[in-house]
Structure 1
Amino acid sequence: MQSNRLFEIIYILLDKKKVTASELAEHFEVSRRTICRDIELLSSAGIPIYADMGRYGGISLLDNFVLDKSLISDSEQHEILASLKILEELKYPNAKESLSRLANLFQKTNDDWISVDFSHWGSHADEIDTFSVIKGCILQQVIIEFDYYNSFGQCSFQKIEPCKLWFKEKSWYLKGYSLRHEDFRIYKMVRIKNLKAGSQSFSKRDLSSEPAHIEMKHPFEPVKLKLLFASEAAYRVYDEFDMDQIQADGKGNLIVTAEYPLNDWIYGYILSFGKDVEVLEPDHVKRHILGIIKEIARKYKNAFSD
């Protein structure tokens, strides 16, 4: 613990140039005496650190000091830069400057090896900006406002305290405290429109008060599905289901067993595979799918009956 604190003290001094012992004590939540002992240890280890007394005094490093890279292994240096690169792609504040500074310090190239884009293919620029706006409002504790379309296509105006961005089941969601419902709610990102940061700030709520069941909260009962997919759909099956849900039948087909909430979405999802899927179980889902197919066939038959 102490070695980590000593290492971080050096980085703080490299970044801020000068700090007081009281500021360091508050940052690390230790006593001022402990910080003074840390400074003595760093000085005895050969780190050119010194303290100025008086009103404008403080702790600082010699201007020409360069951190001894031997304190960090080569693999650790790469891990630090990789983490900062991801933060830079996520537009995290000051990540770009930190990445550039440490890349120079470690004498490593800042390779452009990763790109993070939360939007889907063909999305508009305003959708790409949605994540940046929400992230900024979460960090700065600013209320956000937006129009939200539920699964029935109904639009409502929402005003929430954003808590976190959440990735679940191949989709992005926003968790937040709804001022309208006075409760924690989950919003699917693709259904959020006309997002903007509000003018009000908020105090972060105790997340332990968030209902434990909120992540599983759903008005539909789950159903265990057994689906048979033709080999032509294998590219989607392996993309959209976990490996432990997939079993080959020895004939080139794939059998998937998975549990989903039984609603209109799951019927639409099954039908999106067209002729390449067959519902094996349960029977009531098979009958419902057949009813949908008959209704679709009736509409197209009527279209050509004239």
Structure 2
Amino acid sequence: MKIDRLLGIITILLQCNKVTAPELAERFEVSRRTIYRDIDDICKAGIPIISVQGGDGGISISDGYKLDKSVLTVDELQNIITGLKSLGSVSDTTRIERLINKLSPKREVVVSIADSIIIDLSSHYKSSLSEKITMLKTAISENKLVSFDYYSEKGQANRTIEPYFLTFKWAAWYVFGYCRDKNDYRLFKLNRLWSHRIIDDTFIPREIPVKELDFDDYFSDDNKITIIFDKSLEYRLIEEYGPECYEVMGDGNLKFSVGYTNKEYILSWILGFGDKARVVEPTDMAEEIKEKAKNIIINYEHDI
């Protein structure tokens, strides 16, 4: 868009004393004539641009013109570029790199510093995740319905939704939308979403109630469980919940209490610690762990 290009040119001129029209044309992938028209438009907006011909010539902002050059500081550009790079891990990398180049003409000054922070928002399914995000972004921008197969603890089900937002929370990507099958708003985890496609039918965007946008409510953890962990697992608890999440008992073991949303998930999480974790409350959960342990033994009886 032209307005984006004009802002990009102004940003470059704020950071560089002088730049040539061919450099701007290459950076923004337009003709020199287009750049010269853009410069005229910037001048009409009240920003005096000086264009000098010759080998040492170029385009610059008049020295006598007072313009706040702190529109974007180096630190602010670092944050923006770091964010853009993280999005590049799940988006069209070429487009992201082009945008970074527009924002950072002095690449060695800004980007090299930003490289000290590397954020990867993808997962083991990086290629398919990028494809899903691209598809959903298109559907959201065009108000198109999306259909997909969804896998949960209840099994496989086909869903058709009006997609509204993509969100990265709880270390995973989700799409938020209105489910036509459940007649309600839902969050769907992208790694559980397959055989996806855009339906040609468009929808009229709904006015979403504010309470529906509090995504934390979709994962209420009113259920509580208390577990005794072996001291050797202290690093695991700190990794997931922080150093204040447990109480050190007299024998050195760790008493840990947490709220949970999905019963099957919390049971499988506990079983993953083997004999180094023991549920003490609630007692019915402890009994379920016992039954599952017995069934595990039965599964292996014929192999012993």
TM-score class, shorter-chain normalisation, is 0.5 to 0.7
Shift of 1:66: 5.8
Contact residue 117 and residue 128 of structure 1 kept, 8 A: no
Q: Which residue of 1 is the match for residue 266 of structure 2?
A: 266
Q: Which residue of 1 is the match for residue 86 of structure 2?
A: 86
Q: Which residue of 1 is the match for residue 120 of structure 2?
A: 116
Q: 1:12 to 1:160 in 2, by over 3 A?
A: farther
TM-score between the two structures when normalised by the length of structure 1 = 0.67
Q: Which residue of 1 is the match for residue 144 of structure 2?
A: 142
Q: Which residue of 2 is the match for residue 228 of structure 1?
A: 228
Count of residue pairs the alignment pairs up: 266
Q: Which residue of 2 is the match for residue 64 of structure 1?
A: 59
- Larger mean CA deviation between 243-252 and 144-153 belongs to 243-252
CA–CA separation in structure 1 for the residues paired with 2:214 and 2:82: 35
Shift of 1:65: 3.0
User: Following superposition, which runs of at least 4 residues in structure 1 exceed 6 angstroms of deviation?
Assistant: 12-16, 67-70
Deviations 1:62-105 (A, max 9, x none): x8236999813433343343344334444279432221122215
CA–CA separation in structure 2 for the residues paired with 1:265 and 1:135: 30
Q: Which residue of 2 is the match for residue 54 of structure 1?
A: none
Shift of 1:144: 1.9
Contact residue 129 and residue 190 of structure 2 kept, 8 A: no
CA–CA separation in structure 2 for the residues paired with 1:169 and 1:106: 33
CA–CA separation in structure 2 for the residues paired with 1:256 and 1:76: 40
Contact residue 165 and residue 174 of structure 1 kept, 8 A: yes
Query: What SS is found at the alignment partner of 1:65?
Result: strand
Q: Which has the higher contact order (CA 8 A, sep 6+)?
A: 2
CA–CA separation in structure 2 for the residues paired with 1:202 and 1:109: 43
1:1-306 equivalences under 5 Å are 10-11=10-11, 39-40=45-46, 42-43=47-48, 64-65=59-60, 71-72=69-70, 73-91=73-91, 94-105=95-106, 108=109, 110-111=111-112, 114-120=118-124, 123=125, 125-153=127-155, 155-208=156-209, 211=212, 215-217=216-218, 222-249=222-249, 252-261=252-261, 263-301=263-301, 303=302
**Mind listing any 5+ residue stretches in structure 2 that lack a counterpart?**
1-6, 14-23, 29-33, 52-57
- Larger mean CA deviation between 194-203 and 96-105 belongs to 194-203
- Larger mean CA deviation between 224-233 and 208-217 belongs to 208-217
Q: Which residue of 1 is the match for residue 19 of structure 2?
A: none
TM-score between the two structures when normalised by the length of structure 2 = 0.68
Q: CA RMSD in A?
A: 4.2
Deviations 1:210-267 (A, max 9, x none): 646875357x983211112223333432232244423334655333211113622222
Query: What SS is found at the alignment partner of 1:108?
Result: helix
Shift of 1:187: 1.5
**Mind listing any 5+ residue stretches in structure 1 that lack a counterpart?**
1-6, 25-35, 50-62
Q: 1:167 to 1:208 in 2, by over 3 A?
A: same
Q: 1:188 to 1:71 in 2, by over 3 A?
A: same
Q: 1:104 to 1:132 in 2, by over 3 A?
A: same
Q: Which residue of 1 is the match for residue 4 of structure 2?
A: none
Query: What SS is found at the alignment partner of 1:79?
Result: helix
**Partner letter of residue 135 of structure 2?**
V
Deviations 1:98-148 (A, max 9, x none): 21122215763634552524223xx47324432333234334433222111
Deviations 1:155-211 (A, max 9, x none): 222121222233444443321111233321122222211122333344433222664
- Larger mean CA deviation between 268-277 and 230-239 belongs to 230-239
Contact residue 145 and residue 162 of structure 2 kept, 8 A: yes
CA–CA separation in structure 1 for the residues paired with 2:138 and 2:62: 32
Contact residue 89 and residue 122 of structure 2 kept, 8 A: no
Contact residue 12 and residue 105 of structure 2 kept, 8 A: no
Query: What SS is found at the alignment partner of 1:71?
Result: coil
Query: What SS is found at the alignment partner of 2:120?
Result: coil
**Partner letter of residue 222 of structure 2?**
P
Contact residue 228 and residue 256 of structure 1 kept, 8 A: yes
CA–CA separation in structure 1 for the residues paired with 2:212 and 2:137: 23
- Larger mean CA deviation between 162-171 and 206-215 belongs to 206-215
Q: 1:128 to 1:276 in 2, by over 3 A?
A: farther
Query: What SS is found at the alignment partner of 1:110?
Result: helix
CA–CA separation in structure 1 for the residues paired with 2:78 and 2:254: 41
